[in-house]
Amino acid sequence: MSNILNFFRAVKQEALKVVWPSKKETTQGALTIIMMSVIAALFFLLIDQLFRFGLAYLIG
């Protein structure tokens, strides 16, 4: 029984050490992810279109 209590005490101590990001850091991280996703989507769209035109040229 004391092992269980020690475990939960240790969990509580570790949980108190967590440092949460500020609102500004969270916003900056979210905007960075959104921008990188848009850039990646545009890149893959461009590559897809190039392959499509190339394949259409080879076939037709």
DSSP 16-59: HT--PPPHHHHHHHHHHHHHHHHHHHHHHHHHHHHHHHHHHHHH
9: helix, strand or coil: helix
pLDDT at residue 57 above 90?
Answer: yes
Task: Give the C-alpha separation, 59 to 14, whole Å.
Answer: 62
- pLDDT computed for residue 1 by the predictor: 74
pLDDT digits 0-9 by tens, 29-54: 999 999 999 999 999 999 999 999 99
Instruction: Tell me the pTM.
Output: 0.66
Q: What percent of the chain has pLDDT over 70?
A: 100
- pLDDT computed for residue 30 by the predictor: 98
Contacts of 14 (CB under 8 A, 6+ apart): none
